[in-house]
Structures are given as C-alpha cells and as structure tokens.
C-alpha cells in the first residue's frame, strides 16, 4: 500500500508537519516575531511600528512562494517555520515573487526600506549563484518564535529536507545576516563558504553550504548515538 507524502513525513518526522493553509496566519505571525529584531530588518525598517507589520508581510510572501514552489515545514504547535526551494528551482524568480505578493513590499516597507532590502538581495543573489550553482536545496528562511528558541526546534524543522538531500547526494544552501547564527548552522552541518559586505550597511551576509551526508557516515553516526 502506498503511503501519502504527508503521512510518510508524519511517520518519519513526528515532530514536524507540512504547513497547512489553516495554520498560515499563525505561522506568519510567528515569523514576524522571529525576525522583528533581526539585523537585516532593523536596517530595512528602523521604525518599530512599521517593522513588525512589514516583517510579517515579507516572510508571509516567502512562505506563499515556498508553498507553491517548494516545501514549508512547521511544528505541530506552529512554533516555527522552515521555507525551502527544491533542487530543480532553487533560485526565486520574479514572476513567482509577484504571485506570492512581493510586489506590495515597496508600499509596506516604504521606498527607502525597499531599496535597502533590494541592495541586500542583490548581493545575496550573486553569492547564491556563485557558491551553489548546481542542483541543491535552498533554505530561504527559517524562524522560531522567540519564546521557543534554544529548544532545538530549528534543527528538527530542517531534518526532513536533510534526509531528502542526503538520499539524493545533494547539498543545502542558506544565507544569514547574523553572525551568531553561523555557529548554530555549523552545528547542523553547514559551513561558511562566503561572506560579503553590503554597500552602505555595516553588516555582512554569510553564505553557508551543507554537503550531503553519505550512507556510511549516517550509519556511523547512528551507531555512535546508540552506544
């Protein structure tokens, strides 16, 4: 008997769900709180009143995009969200961004904020194409509710795609604008492959790659855990 993909996910990763439409609003609110004080958003939307609203709009669009063209995972209580694009289309396209609602961002962020975001995106896109040119899974965004951070939820949310990537022998790629996050991602198997300065901004962008883990390495790891 064939197993439905969502049922297979539940059986293999019981602490992770595919994001359902009924949970979208809650996930959007969680992403807003998760990124409200993120360095990029503090720069893009320095006005506190506008920032939470704009952050929800931005990551709501990212989730919409990945729901239609990739994968979005959450926890059963919707305490965090991981948004992925698949190996055959890991680079966001303009048309799909328009369809996901990103055309509204200049109005939601204001022209100055949107210009700042675009400057970051231009640098990040160049890094992405240069350091992950072949098929790969792209972790576009992952956020955990601040009240639930530090509990290992981020790593759990990444596991379903890590398993698929390892089975196919494919890498995973992400960018982060927060240096302390690089330490967390390194613990999940990523390594820093590039970093860049954004003109006009003191912060940096770090590009990180996770190589596929082979079957032998996975078996060794499981054996070590069982001892």
pLDDT tens digits, one per residue of 152-164: 999 999 999 999 9
pLDDT at 6 over 70: no
The one-character DSSP state at 10 is H
pTM of the predicted model as reported, rounded to 2 decimal places: 0.88
* pLDDT value, residue 217: 52
Tell me what the pLDDT averaged over the chain comes to: 88
Question: Which residue range is the domain that position 198 belongs to?
Answer: 5-226
Question: Mean of the pLDDT values across residues 61-87?
Answer: 96
CA dist., res. 152 & res. 19, Å (int): 19
**Short-list 31, 137, 12, CA closest to 74:** 31
pLDDT value of position 9: 55
Helix %, strand %, coil % of the chain (to 5) = 55, 15, 25
State the CATH number of the domain containing residue 108.
3.40.630.30
Q: What is the pLDDT of residues 162-196, one digit of tens each?
A: 999 999 999 999 999 999 999 999 999 999 999 99
pLDDT top residue among 93 and 14: 93
What phi, psi does 136 have (nearest 5°)? Answer: -165, 165
CA proximity to 175, closest of 199, 144, 203? 203
Of 74, 71, 68, 69, give the one whose Cα is nearest residue 25.
74
Render pLDDT for 9-30 as a digit per residue (tens, 0 to 9).
555 666 899 999 999 999 999 9
- Examine the pLDDT at 150 and tell me if it is beyond 70: yes
Domains contained in the chain, number: 1
The mean-pLDDT minimum among 1-10, 58-67, 100-109, 143-152 falls in 1-10
- Residue 208: per-residue pLDDT: 98
The neighbour count for residue 23, using CB atoms within 10 Å, is 18
């Amino acid at each position: 008997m064939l197993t439905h993909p969502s049922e297979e996910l539940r059986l293999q990763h019981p602490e992770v769900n595919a994001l359902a439409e009924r949970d979208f609003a809650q996930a959007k609110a969680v992403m807003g709180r998760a990124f409200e004080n993120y360095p990029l958003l503090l720069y893009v939307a320095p006005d506190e009143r506008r920032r939470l609203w704009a952050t929800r709009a931005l990551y709501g669009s990212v989730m919409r995009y990945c729901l239609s063209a990739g994968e979005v995972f959450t926890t059963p209580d919707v305490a965090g969200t991981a948004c992925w694009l698949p190996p055959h289309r890991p680079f966001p396209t303009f048309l799909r961004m328009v369809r996901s609602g990103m055309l509204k961002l200049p109005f939601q962020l204001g022209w100055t904020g949107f210009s700042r975001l675009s400057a970051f995106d231009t640098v990040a896109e160049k890094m992405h194409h240069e350091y992950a040119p072949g098929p790969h899974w792209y972790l576009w965004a992952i956020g955990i509710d601040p009240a639930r951070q530090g509990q290992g939820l981020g790593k759990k949310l990444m596991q379903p795609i890590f398993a698929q990537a390892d089975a196919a022998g494919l890498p995973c790629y992400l960018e982060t604008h927060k240096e302390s996050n690089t330490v967390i991602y390194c613990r999940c198997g990523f390594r820093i492959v590039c970093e860049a300065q954004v003109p006009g901004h003191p912060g940096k962008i770090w590009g990180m790659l996770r190589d596929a883990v082979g079957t032998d390495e996975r078996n060794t790891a499981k054996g070590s855990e069982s001892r």
